[in-house]
Structure 1
Amino acid sequence: MDLDAKVAFLSQPRNYCHPVCPSGVEVIQTHMSWVFMTDREVYKLKKPVRFSFLDFSTLEARHRDSLEEVRLNRRLAPDVYLGVQALRQNRAGQLQLDVDGEPVEWLVRMRRLPAGRMLDHAIRAGTVEDDDVHRITRVLADFYRRAAPVPMRFADYRQRLRRDIEINRRELLTGDAHLPRARIEALTDAQFGFLDQAAELLEARCRERRIIEAHGDLRPEHVCLTPTPVFIDCLEFNRAFRLLDPADELAFLAMECEYAGAAFIGPLLFATYDDITGDTPPASLIAFHKSCRATLRARLAFAHLQDHGDSEHPRWIEKTRGYLDLAEQYSRCL
């Protein structure tokens, strides 16, 4: 049963075990998944892909990762992740949900959150208030304080940061996207320079046992402003990517909020985090993480060109350049 047949089946409202409103199923394609959104629930189907950082090429691997996605996301969204559901093929060769038969795919099943309460939507609507940021930070600070520190040698931590910069630099320089080569080189040179100049600062973060198993992909579209905020879509497929300094993760969210047009969120986020935890990451460290994260997002935006047709290319090129502009702005603070 090929991927196109599974996508076609899950795109049809009549194939679900619960009533679906007449507006149908909203279908979204990401770099690694297909997402099917009914009015009440969301189903995620992982693509059978393999990259250097993940392997979804087998049904067993996708099942294992789906279970891990549910487990990890229940840390910050306990009532959202409903479980893993099989997509099966019956004896007649037809696809069905919730029946006997041979599993041909595994789906992560979620409760659908109200779109209007997502942080990215609230930013666009201009409705984010200081109290929203305080509530977000309180939940995250409590999560970070409860997380067990992950022992990491400074040499390993520094090497990982250096490797990430090298990958971003290489991919952006080799991409045929008419990107400003000299600016990319200057940007990543500044990031490399910070690793050398701020070695004592970075080593202190390791020595203070700041590295934890975090969310890993903390963006506005993954934050829901319910009375107790919830955070979805953590980076489940590679544990190494979740081993972060909270300063890094919060810098990522602050950067994405600024990219979306809400620069006021970042300073308030860190001030509240400081008040709650007593941890005050230096401004230069925050700028470094923001710069590296914006460069990473530029690289990922460029990678999306492979998933979309020519009509979408201008959009992703614009995003690539927009993130690079932001990364360059942060690099001036290093």
Structure 2
Amino acid sequence: MAENGAQREADVSLSQKLAFLAQALPGAQRIETHTAYVFVAADRVLKLKKPICFDYLDYRSLEAREHVCREEIRLNRQLAGEMYLGLVPLVCDEAGKMALGMTGRVIDWLVEMRRLPTERLLDACLRSGQSPAPAEISAVANRLIAFYRDRQADRPNPGLYLRHLRCESAVNIRNLTEMRAYLRGGYDGTTLSAGAALIDRHAAEIRARDRTRLVVEGHGDLRPEHVCLTTPPTIFDRLEFSVEMRMIDVFDEVNYLGLECALLGARWIGAQLLAAITAAGFSPPSSGLLRAYGVFRCLTRARLTIDHLRDPVPRTPEKWPLQARSYLTRAAELLAAGANG
């Protein structure tokens, strides 16, 4: 039966699905991400997962895409609330006519969301030179603080966070070394090995923070483009496909958001966020561990960006080496600051 279902699904190609959605959503902007196609209409957003397979996810089956869509909705409702409206089936009748949200043979699933004001996204504000007010960043901090306190009630997979940091550090070294030709002057093997060594040096502190519930199942990819300065703020696009990536020290996650804001010219945001969660009673890590977290995130982002060039047909291939080099430069700066301090 599963084989027949897979065959029926294969009768409708991805290009046919995309063509139908473009017709069903006239005027919608289509955005392609690494794992999905996003259709941005006047008042709502629909996301179709790509039938792809990477080391860390496999969306090739209809069942897998349904599961991950349901997980995206469940996880993001904990942080973004009513933005995530629900799951919409893409169906096809016997004549091959497709429809959204109707009865029929399901050939795919889409996540439906309310559309946010694009100009209020944190990255858009920073890129346009319209710096957010400190009160708006305080509201973001308060939203995160409440979220982290809720997550502290559970402590799944103790020890997973440190294992993930070590595993990802090894992948960073391997992949960035393999892609060094694209990085040109940005590649420095010493920076990569020093970043991994920092995690090992602070392993005991990381374990202690895990035991005291400072490691939680967080957002997993907290960047400025996932924060909208609505009232109250909306924090969305929480990682749905990997609990390993969601397990994180609250200071690691907030510091990561601060680093991304700093790369957009607003270093003060990270300092305000870290001060806010400290004032809320979350015990901060040592300065050395916070630096280790920052180096790790920079190296990981460098690896993830340059790995776009491994795709069969990379999107905007010219931009990934530049982005990767900027992250590598910031990692080297953090290491140098630690050595000098």
TM-score normalised according to structure 2 size: 0.90
Q: Deviations over 1:107-166 (max 9, x none)?
A: 000000001111111112333111111110011011101112425555x54332111111
- Give the 3-state SS of the residue equivalent to 2:47 in structure 1: strand
Q: 1:286 maps to what in 2?
A: 290
Query: For structure 1, which segment, 183-192 or 259-268, has the greater mean C-alpha deviation from structure 2 after superposition?
Result: 183-192
Mean Cα displacement is larger for which, 116-125 or 73-82? 116-125
Q: Please give the residue correspondences for 1:68-147 in structure 2 after superposition, counting only pairs within 5 Å.
A: 68-125=71-128, 126-147=130-151
Deviating more after overlay: 185-194 vs 55-64:
185-194
Cα distance in 2 for residues equivalent to 1:182 and 1:261: 21
Matched with 2:205 is 201
Letter of the structure 1 residue corresponding to residue 299 of structure 2: T
2:48 pairs with one of 34, 45, 49: 45
**How many corresponding residue pairs?**
325
Distance change in 2, residues 1:51/1:91 (3 Å): same
Residues 177 and 232 of structure 1: CA distance in aligned 2, closer, same or farther (over 3 Å): farther
**Identity in percent:** 37
SS of 1:74's partner is helix
Matched, 1:262 2:266: yes
Could you say which residue in structure 2 is the equivalent of 1:244? 248
- Matched residue of 1:313: which SS? coil
2:29 equivalent to 1:26: yes
Aligned to 1:228: 232
Aligned mates of 2:94, 2:186 — CA distance in 1: 60
Please give the secondary structure, in 1, of the residue aligned with 2:138. Answer: helix
C-alpha distance in 2, partners of 1:211/1:195? 15
- Whether the 8 Å CA contact 2:28–2:39 is kept in 1: the answer is yes
> Normalization by structure 1: what TM-score?
0.91
**1:233 to partner: Cα distance:** 0.5
- Partner of 2:194, secondary structure, is helix
Q: Summarize the Cα distance change of 1:177–1:85 in structure 2 as closer, same or farther, 3 Å threshold.
A: farther
Unaligned runs of 5+ in 1: none
Greater mean deviation of Cα atoms: 231-240 or 270-279: 270-279
Letter in 2 for 1:330: L
Per-residue CA deviations over 1:26-79 (Å, capped at 9, x if unaligned) read: 111111111111011101000111112111110011001101100110011111
Q: Which is worse superposed, 252-261 or 76-85?
A: 252-261
Q: Which moved more, 1:72-81 or 1:281-290?
A: 281-290
- The unaligned stretches of length 5 or more in structure 2 are 1-11
RMSD between aligned alpha carbons?
Answer: 2.0
